[in-house]
Amino acid sequence: MPTETSTPPVSTMTEFLPELRYWVAEIIATEADHLYGIKQDEARMTLYALRLVCKDFANMGVVKAALFKSLNLDATWEDLRLVQATDLSFLAPYIRKVTIRPSLHNVDLDFMDFKCYYLSKVGKLLSDEEVNLEFESYQDKSRIDDTLMKSGELERVWTALFKQFRKSIKIVIPSWIGQHPLLFNWDEFWEAASSRIPLREGSLMNYKQLFRTVLRCLVSSDVIVRGIEADCEIMNSFRDWQSSDWRQLVLDKLKVLKFTSYEFWDAIEHDGFRERDNAIFNAIGQFLGKCPSDLRVLGIQRYVDCPRILIPSLSASGIRGLRPLSLEGILLGPHLLALDISSMLYLKSVYLRDCDTRPTEGQWKAVLVSVHHHTNSIRFEMDNCRGRRGDHEWDFFFSFNTATFDEDVACLRYEDERELYRYLARRGPWTNGLEICYG
């Protein structure tokens, strides 16, 4: 007779192995989905290895969902050939995020700009003949990529791919900063700002055509869009808000909307601010007008020295379901923002950075009062935000969480900060000191 410590029959172990394999795969897939950095990479590499050594792992939906949830598409001839040569039908059902990157080859780039860029990257002196050869190769690739987009071939291939997506997807169109010859990495970006090296608007033309192509693909494929993260360089260059493609685009399932924007120095020198600022304001308004009332995440980042961009009223746009709200580099109307905060019943956090108040609309009191009286305990953070009272300005730097009052209040140096903390944590009144600083 078998004892309690004897080995179970082989048949029993065989029957259990599929469940055990799935359990192991599910744990590792969860880590690959939720961890960050090195640990996430290790979890993904483990899943890749398991797929190679065991067919059962290779066929598990939970493994495919973890490994193939993201897809990168480049608007280049080389990438298009890869897409056409690869059968993505078995991966498409698991894709949740599509990052669409413009070609880094620009037909508007002239020789002198290319030479400055190329020599700086190579780090050594080259003859004009050598640079000419590189420039000719660059121009050839630029013309091919430009024709690919304008001919509709890129749209045709991408639309066929989008039609295979069975789940809602997030569309990400990243910045060119650090990639494009006319732009720079972040260190060079600020160096360019001080030396007036032009970050030319001409480099945005690919963005305009790319955005139009993406719109057509989304409309033609009827794919459900649950998120959009776009560089506002698109908003600088795209003007066709009355086009049939834009009118037909449906975003009634959208949950996440994020914009990032940078200043282009040639536009500042030649066109001034107003047209550019109005274009971005209009673009944001167009998107908000298509968003559902239960949009959950909104983030708008504007990298400028002096905030000038206003944003439309969120409550007037019908948006009521935001959880986090993040605004950076925005010129705010305190009373309008206070109304927006009060109307969002599910709001959990508000983050304001490098924001100013409109001079005619007073200080931050209306916003702070709306946070104080909100039905939720909101995490409220402000960094480097300026307010005005009369002819004076204050730069105040504070970041705190109203839900962790006891932990953070001791770290505040000034009495007005402690008073504000107590007020927002509903442990103190609005004092004369707060009225002077923020009223």
Cβ atoms 60, 25 nearer than 8 A: yes
pLDDT reported for residue 406? 57
pLDDT reported for residue 397? 55
Residue percentage of the chain with pLDDT more than 70: 77
pLDDT of 327 > 90? The answer is yes
| Better pLDDT: 406 or 224 | 224
Name which of 70-84, 287-301, 396-410 the model is least confident about. Answer: 396-410
Selection from 132-141, 288-297, 423-432 with the highest mean pLDDT: 288-297
pTM of the model: 0.82
CA angle, 294 then 297 then 298, to 5°:
110
pLDDT reported for residue 184? 43
pLDDT reported for residue 411? 62
Name which of 71-80, 133-142, 315-324 the model is least confident about. Answer: 133-142
Chain mean pLDDT for the chain: 79
Q: What is the mean pLDDT of residues 151-168?
A: 93
pLDDT of 323 > 90? The answer is yes
For the chain, which residues make up each domain, given as ranges? Answer: 17-67, 71-222+232-255
Instruction: For 425-439, write each residue's pLDDT tens digit.
Output: 888 899 988 888 787
Instruction: For 329-346, write each residue's pLDDT tens digit.
Output: 899 999 999 999 999 999
